Structure 1
Amino acid sequence: MIELDAVSRRYDGGPPALQDVTLSVPRGQALAIVGPSGSGKSTLLNLLAGLDRPSAGTVTVDGVRVHELGEAASAKYRRATIGLVFQFFNLLDDLTVADNVVLPAWLAGVAKAAAQRRAAELLDTLGIARHARAYPGRLSGGERQRVAVARALMNRPALLLADEPTGALDSASGEDVRELLTGLRAEGQTIVLVTHDLRLADAVATRTVELLDGRVVADGTTPTGAAAIGVAP
C-alpha cells in the first residue's frame, strides 16, 4: 500500500524534517507513528497525503507516485485514495452533520442519492445517526470526531490518515475514538496514525514506528503495538 524510498524533506535550508526514511506498509496494516514534537511525524503524514513533496526520494501510495503529482492531481488523489482525520475535526460549522459527511462525495462527483445513502450508512454505523440534522457546534468532542471519521470514510479510501485524533478530546471521548479506530483496523482498513497518545498507538496499531530528528529509530510489528519498541505507556 505504501512505499517510501530514501525520503527526505528539508525546509528553507534548515535541518531536515525527515532524513532518508525508507518504509513499506502492506495493505490492511494499522501503523502508528510516534515520537517527540519536531521529530517529523506530521511531515511524513503530509507527504503521504500529497500535501507536501519530498526534497529527495519517492512516495508511492496504492500504486500512485505521489511525489510526482501536481496540485490538481494531488487533490484528485486525496479524494479518491485518502481519508483524513484531524486533531481539531475541521468540520464546517454552517453545514449539518449529514452535509459535512457527504461533502467529499459531492466534490468527487458522486450522485446525490448515492452519496446521501452512503452518509446515512456511515452515521448509523458510527452511532451518530440521531445527529444527522444537527450542527457540529451542538455535539461533544467525541461526537464531532466520529463525524470527522465518517467524512474521512465517505469515499471508501484505500488509506486512512489520522493526525492526533484524540489530542483535543477528554479521556472518555478519547476512549470512544480508540474503539472506533480499533474496529476499523479489524475490518481491514489501512491506517497510518500519528499520535503522542501511546495508549492509542498500543490499542489501534499492530506496528509502531518511532521517529527522532527525522529518522526512523525503531520499528516494531507485534500485536501489542507501542510495547513492541519498548515505549512505556
Structure 2
Amino acid sequence: MSVASGECVAILGHSGSGKSTLLNLIAGLDRPSSGSVTVDGTRVDRLGEAGSAKYRRASIGMIFQFFHLLDDLTVLDNVMVPARLAGMGKGEAKRRAVELLGSLGIDRHAGAYPQRLSGGQRQRVAVARALMNKPALLLADEPTGALDSNSAEGVRRLLLDLNSEGQTILLVTHDAQLAASTAHRTIELVDGAVERDVVNDCGGAGPAARTPLTRPTGAVG
C-alpha cells in the first residue's frame, strides 16, 4: 500500500485485523518480518532505536483515542512537550504552541489543566501537540472513539481542515461512516492483509503527487 503526500487515507478493520500493528510499523515501534516501510523518504525499517526516536520526533504526529495528555501539565505545556524533546528553545516552542492553540480555537484554555476540559477540547489539545513539530505524517488512532457525537463531528471537521491545508493523514477507525466522510480512500484490513482499497466519494482536498508511505512485499501480521 502507498499513501500520497497531502492525502487522507482511512484504515478500516475489525479488532485483530492488524491496524495497530500497521501503525506501530509506520511509527518505527515495530519492525516488519518482511518487506519495507518508507515514510517521507526514510526507510523506517532500517532505523536503530535512536534513529527511530529521532524519526518519530521529526516526521510523525500521533493522535490517540484517549488523548494521553499529562494531567500535571497545563494545556500549553502539554503542547510544548514534543518541541522541547526535539531541542527547540522554550521561547520558540511557546510561540509555536500558542499559535497552534489559537488556530484550533482553544487558546483561552492554555493555562488550564486537561482534566478541566471536555473530551472534544482535550482531543484538540492532542491534535495541537501532534502538529507541534510539523510532521510529514499525522497518525490518528480512533481519534473520535472516546467522544460524544457532537465532539466527534468537531474532530472530523478538524481533520478535514488539516488535510485541506496539505497535512497527510492516516486515520485508523472502526467507523465506516467516519472513514467514508473524512478520507480520500478507505483501505480495509483483514487478518493482516489489505482486502480492499477503494476511493471514497467525499473527503478532503485532492492529494499531491504520490509518494510511498509503505511498500510491504507480504502481509503485515
In the alignment, structure 1 residue 129 sits paired with structure 2 residue 110: no
TM-score normalised over the length of structure 1? 0.85
Partner residue of 1:87 out of 65, 86, 101: 65
RMSD: 0.9
2:146 corresponds to which of 168, 179, 182: 168
1:101-120 counterparts in 2 under 5 A?
101-120=79-98
Task: Measure, in 1, the Cα distance between the counterparts of 2:4 and 2:146.
Answer: 29
Percent identical pairs in the alignment equals 70
Q: Alignment length, in residue pairs?
A: 203
Superposition TM-score, scaled by structure 2 size: 0.90
Deviations 1:174-220 (A, max 9, x none): 01100100101111100000001222212220011001111111001
- What is the 5 A alignment of 1:19-34? 23-34=1-12
Look up the match of 1:148: 126
For residues 106-131 of structure 1, give each alpha carbon's deviation from its aligned partner in whole angstroms, at most 9, with x where no partner exists: 00011111111110010000010010
Cα separation, 1, equivalents of 2:20 and 2:42: 20
2-structure distance, mates of 1:199, 1:124? 29
Q: Is the partner of 2:135 in helix, strand or coil?
A: coil
What is the DSSP-based 3-state SS (H/G/I as helix, E as strand, rest coil) of the residue aligned with 1:44?
helix
Q: Which amino acid aligns with 1:26?
A: A
Structure having the larger proportion of residues in strand: 1
Q: Give the whole-Å Cα distance in 2 for the aligned partners of 1:185 and 1:99.
A: 25
Distance 2:98 2:177 in 1: 31
- Which of the numbers 96, 99, 114 marks the counterpart of 2:74? 96
Letter in 2 for 1:28: G
Of residues 160, 170, 178, the one that matches 1:182 is: 160
Name the structure, 1 or 2, with higher relative contact order (CA <8 Å, separation 6+). Answer: 2
Contact 1:182 1:203 in 2 (8 A): no
Output the CA distance in 2 between the equivalents of 1:29 and 1:223: 14
Which of 6, 12, 36 aligns to 1:58? It is 36
- Confirm or deny: 8 A CA contact 2:182 2:202 kept in the other structure: no
* Partner AA of 2:69 in structure 1: L
CA contact (8 A) 1:145 1:165 kept: yes
SS in 2 for 1:56: coil
Residue number in structure 2 paired with 1:8: none
* Structure-2 residue corresponding to 1:10: none
Give, in whole Å, the separation in 1 of the partners of 2:151 and 2:163: 19
- Deviation, 1:159, is 0.3
Counterpart CA distance in 2 for 1:85 and 1:222 is: 23
The answer for unaligned runs of 5 or more in structure 1 is 1-22, 226-233
Matching residue's letter, 2:62: L
* 2:180/2:200 contact within 8 Å kept: no
Letter of the 1:43 counterpart: T
Q: Residue 37 of structure 1 aligns to a residue in which SS?
A: coil
The aligned residue for residue 25 of structure 2 is 47
The aligned residue for residue 11 of structure 1 is: none
**Secondary structure, counterpart of 1:95 in structure 2:** coil
The 3-state SS of whatever aligns with 2:2 is: strand
Q: Distance in 2 between matches of 1:188 and 1:222?
A: 18
